Each structure stands twice: as structure tokens, then as C-alpha cells.
Structure 1
């Protein structure tokens, strides 16, 4: 299954993780994981939000490249909109095939 990571530089990672989880939690299953992280489940695609000291780590695992691209776009655009004042930028690594 293809996967991809983004490391979004911010000193407010826990707040952004919670905001994304709350926003998407109205429509999809969201589960809180240890250390303040969240797992979002978009059909067969998992998104893990892991807040760290100086960045938010986002890991997307999808059944295929098309689903991976779609969910990366959705999650990335929402986070950039939420973090507009902080000028957040989401840059994804190249997808890895597991």
C-alpha cells in the first residue's frame, strides 16, 4: 500500500492535530492515539496526525496512488487553510510503496 509523509513546521502541532481531527470527525471515524495524536479513517485510507515539538507529522496510507493523492490534497489544503495566519505549508515526500 502506498504511503506518504509530511512534516509541517509549527510550534502549535497539538492544536492543529486536534483541529483537523475535530473538523473531519464530523464525517469520518477519528480515533485518539497516544501522545495527543489522531487517526482519521477515510474509507480505506488512514491518516495519522502526530504532533511533535516543532512540527506536525502527517502519515497517509492508502490502497492505491489515486486515493493517496486525493487524501493528501484534502488534508493538506485543510491544514494550510487552518494555519493561514501562521503561513503553514504542507510538503509531501514522494510516495513509498510498502
Structure 2
């Protein structure tokens, strides 16, 4: 079983934050990204998928049942807010989107 949460984060700087986060974590994790999309695979089996447009940064966080979803959400939000220091804290409206896989 896995848990999936999604968040739509309002920001005009979504592409910049997506790229900064991907570059930041690329030294420690498996990362793929462009200006509009990014994927980060965490060592604990979690996965973050990001999509940026002109008004929002959409996040989809997949976490194995053995891991703490709230902690992973906090890790992601804290890191993005660090790059978004001029407008932080951003609003993360995490919603359950779980499917059993």
C-alpha cells in the first residue's frame, strides 16, 4: 500500500522553485526535471512529482505505507519555502489522492 497526497501551491515563481528544489536534491537522490516538470525519488521509496505553470506549483507526493506522510509533506514544504523566502510561507493544501497499488 502507498499513500498519495496532492497540493496546488499558488506562486508565480513555480518553475524557478521546481528547478531549485530538483537541483538541490539531485546530489543525493534520483532527479529528473525540466522548466515545467520534475520528479524526485527519495531513498525511503517516496516520490515527488511536480508540475509548474504561470500561477501554481502542483505537487504529488507518493509515500510507502511504512513511512510518515506528514513528515514527508513537511520536508517538501520546508525546502520549497526556503527557496521561496521572499513570499514564504507558501500555502500547501495537501489533499488525499491515495490509490492502492
Short-chain TM bin: 0.7 to 0.9
Give the aligned partner of residue 13 of structure 2: 12
Q: Which runs of 4+ in 1 moved over 3 A?
A: none
What are the equivalent positions in structure 2 for 1:32-71 lying under 5 Å apart?
Answer: 32=33, 36-43=36-43, 44-64=45-65, 66-71=67-72
Give the aligned partner of residue 98 of structure 2: 96
Q: Is the 8 A contact 1:8 1:89 kept in 2?
A: yes
Give the aligned partner of residue 76 of structure 1: 77
The answer for unaligned runs of 5 or more in structure 2 is none
Name the SS for the 1:40 alignment partner. Answer: strand
The answer for unaligned runs of 5 or more in structure 1 is none
Q: TM-score, normalised by structure 2?
A: 0.83
Structure number with the higher helix fraction is: 1
